[in-house]
């Protein structure tokens, strides 16, 4: 008695391959949409916070955090550090990621929130790494403000006439860490010149898994974007 063995026809195999292709395409498209949404959220963070800072300065004639009359203006705490950084000098003293509750850069968020310019807690008592006091970006990285230039130029280009040798300049700088190479390039392309080591938007590598107070500008090339799993801190000058 002959035994017969049934297999898939060419039509059935073709249908399966089409379905697999559609599923892969959907997954890739979905990931692209997620990345695009994250990039837009990161850009929106920078723009929203800078608008709030300008609004506070316009209303009270002082920068938030640097306001020597914050107690009278919004009921907030007056900064007493960093030492040597005069209050009311138009510059936000302290590192962008400061955890010192008396630093101007730390108290920026309290002043902005108590002025109803940003949402969030104004309670400065919790300085833990998971504190709700620190603003977070779409990837749960920390956001901060400083008046000190956070990203320096690479030493190899310090004497070069290229644009990479031009230091960042601005009245204040907003930094956001925990950002992938791809998102860092997308943010730079949206807000600046597309090069993460030049212009008003620059990126620096993170140290021990967290954003450093200061660092050197790094160029995230397309090749680095595709291969790097490292995270970066992106700072924007205003």
CATH number for position 181: 3.30.1690
Rounded Cα distance between 219 and 221, Å, is 6
What is the mean pLDDT of the segment spanning 19-43? 77
Q: Residue 12 — very low, low, confident or very high, per pLDDT cuts 50/70/90?
A: confident
> Residue 197 sits in which domain range?
38-237
Predicted local confidence at residue 33, as pLDDT: 67
The reported pLDDT for the residue numbered 158 is 46
| Token pair in block for residue 53 | 């800072």
Look at residue 27 and tell me if it is in a domain.
no
> Does residue 80 surpass a pLDDT of 70?
yes
Task: Give the number of C-alpha atoms closer than 13 A to the C-alpha of residue 172, restricted to the C-beta side.
Answer: 28
Across the range 93-109, mean pLDDT stands at: 98
pLDDT in tens, 192-227: 999 999 999 999 999 887 899 999 999 999 999 888
DSSP 155: G
Residue 68 lies in a domain: yes
Per-residue model confidence (pLDDT) at position 26: 66
Only one residue has tokens 């209303």, namely 59
Q: What is the pLDDT of residues 176-192, one digit of tens each?
A: 999 999 999 999 999 99
User: Is 90 within 8 Å of 171 (Cβ atoms)?
Assistant: yes
DSSP string of 100-120?
-TTBHHHHHHHHHHHTTSS-S
Residue 91: Cβ within 10 Å count: 16
Residues in the chain: 238
Decide if 112 is inside a domain: yes
Distance CA 236, CA 111 (A): 21
Q: Quote the number of domains for the chain.
A: 1
Assess if residue 146 is contained within a domain.
yes
40 has a pLDDT exceeding 60 = yes
pLDDT tens sequence across 55-74:
999 999 999 999 999 999 99
């Amino acid at each position: 008695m002959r035994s017969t063995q049934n297999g898939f026809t060419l039509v059935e195999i073709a249908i399966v391959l089409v379905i697999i292709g559609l599923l892969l395409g959907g997954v890739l498209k979905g990931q692209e949409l997620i990345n695009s949404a994250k990039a837009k959220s990161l850009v929106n963070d920078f723009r929203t916070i800078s608008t709030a800072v300008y609004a506070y300065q316009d209303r009270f004639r002082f920068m938030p955090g640097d306001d020597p009359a914050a107690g009278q203006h919004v009921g907030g705490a007056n900064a007493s550090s960093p030492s040597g950084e005069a209050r009311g000098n138009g510059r936000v003293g302290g590192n962008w990621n400061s955890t010192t509750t008396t630093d101007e850069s730390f108290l920026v968020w309290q002043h902005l929130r108590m002025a109803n310019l940003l949402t969030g807690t104004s309670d400065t008592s919790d300085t833990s790494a998971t504190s709700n006091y620190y603003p977070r970006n779409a990837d749960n990285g920390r956001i901060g403000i400083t008046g000190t230039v956070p990203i320096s130029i690479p030493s190899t280009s310090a004497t070069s006439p290229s644009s990479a040798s031009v230091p960042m300049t601005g009245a204040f700088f907003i930094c956001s860490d925990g950002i992938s190479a791809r998102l860092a390039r997308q943010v730079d392309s949206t807000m600046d010149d597309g090069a993460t080591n030049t212009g008003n938007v620059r990126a620096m590598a993170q140290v021990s898994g967290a954003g450093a107070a200061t660092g050197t500008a790094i160029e995230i090339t397309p090749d680095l974007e595709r291969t790097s799993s490292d995270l970066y801190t992106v700072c924007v000058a205003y």
